[in-house]
Structure 1
């Protein structure tokens, strides 16, 4: 069975950076059980009130949803194709679980998707279905959305949640410096609860986790973790594959749910 994954996407410039995390992502595909037949990816930068499913027929456009970065980034593309039949299958799975959803035939891939996919699968030769996130749902509802897609793992579909466990742009350090202890404390608490599959604590992380407000000032980057975890509900095994930091406290982490 294909594992599900949470993968931090960091800053948009991740795709042109060189450090231990980009090295990890470039080797990631080789660690998979087999080449995926398709990729389903929830991006923190694709926010909709109703669960939206990319249903592009043909090649996705590349969205440059950022400003002030090197010109090189704005020349990059990720010309992956959609998979309409998989999009419709996903909608059927959501309907079966009582989750309202809609298809979007036009939206391209934002940097939360293409920046990491370009590092992991640079050939862009695997069909992609982009899925939105909704910050207004409960954490349990987020988990259930991921759980609704769990059967896709048996079809060699790779499910990815793309976001960041510690993502606070108001507290990043643009100058060189060490890693903030509050970021470490939050991620360490998170690790203990994920490895124990303690969903009750995770659903109430805002009340229970140390420095939750600093680490997760807004929840759109945290949601993909719960979505990916939900997709791993059948087996309930969480493994930290990588964790490092940039800008003092922005977490670059990858979790496997298998």
Structure 2
């Protein structure tokens, strides 16, 4: 059974950067079995109904402006997996979760940026799932839990977003992590490590500095989705944590991994 992961995708330029976090992502991919397919919840695909990508050959989506020209010629030619998309649809329907297949959606940078670092050869099929920021945290957890059976089928489930993600509070001239950002991530770590669902589903009320750390929920909810997918093996471990530009949290959480003896 594969664990699930939440990976911060940082800025679009992450894919051309070289630092401790990108090195970590490369090593992470080599440390786990090669998955048969990857299912990824992307913070950059928002929809009112749960969407499931079903394109045979997803196209690249360059959903950003003002970055290096090199990024706009990036290609990640991973194929889709229609059989898996239909399987996911069935898993959702069995749990009463409304969903729709989308055979036109491509790969946004929330998907291709971390995947390009982790699996640069693009040989593993990828199915991307949308997020609905209007749902409650409890509903996100339930959506993730519906996909738990995929872990036994050799499918890697990733949530791609960011815990502290406030673009207005970035400070490009000050790499020192801001106190309020660190406090939020520390609170989150305590709740995840103890699998405190009561607190997590009410993070927007209980977490310190939540209005600054999570001004909008779309980047945070992929964590809840990845967490829910590991509901049957409730173990959480922080594998990497660093900051860029003072407030942009680059963290990776593993959920449902094996216990250490």
TM-score, structure 2 as length reference: 0.97
- How far apart in 2 are the matches of 1:27 and 1:177? 24
State how 1:95-134 maps to structure 2 within 5 Å: 95-134=93-132
- Does residue 48 in structure 1 map to residue 80 in structure 2? no
Residue matched to 2:75: 77
- How far apart in 2 are the matches of 1:176 and 1:226? 30
Residue matched to 2:239: 241
Residue matched to 1:231: 229
- 1:205 deviates by 0.8
Residue matched to 1:38: 37
Residue matched to 1:22: 22
- 1:28 deviates by 1.3
Residue matched to 1:8: 8
- 1:30 deviates by 1.1
CA contact (8 A) 2:175 2:244 kept: no
- 1:60 deviates by 1.3
Residue matched to 1:139: 137
- How far apart in 2 are the matches of 1:228 and 1:170? 26
- 1:176 deviates by 3.0
Q: CA-atom RMSD, angstroms?
A: 0.6
- How far apart in 2 are the matches of 1:177 and 1:140? 34
Structure 2 gap ranges (5+): 257-261
CA contact (8 A) 2:175 2:243 kept: no
- 1:26 deviates by 1.3
- How far apart in 2 are the matches of 1:198 and 1:162? 21
Residue matched to 2:188: 190
What does the per-residue CA deviation read over 1:218-250, in whole Å, with 9 as the maximum and x for residues that have no partner? Answer: 000000000000000000000000000001010
Deviates more, 1:200-209 or 1:124-133: 200-209
TM-score, structure 1 as length reference: 0.98
**Runs of 4+ in structure 1 over 4 Å off:** none
Q: SS where residue 162 of structure 1 aligns?
A: strand
Q: SS where residue 170 of structure 1 aligns?
A: helix
- How far apart in 1 are the matches of 2:175 and 2:143? 38
Residue matched to 2:259: none
Matched length: 256
- 1:177 deviates by 3.6
Q: SS where residue 85 of structure 2 aligns?
A: helix
- How far apart in 2 are the matches of 1:47 and 1:160? 16
- 1:206 deviates by 1.4
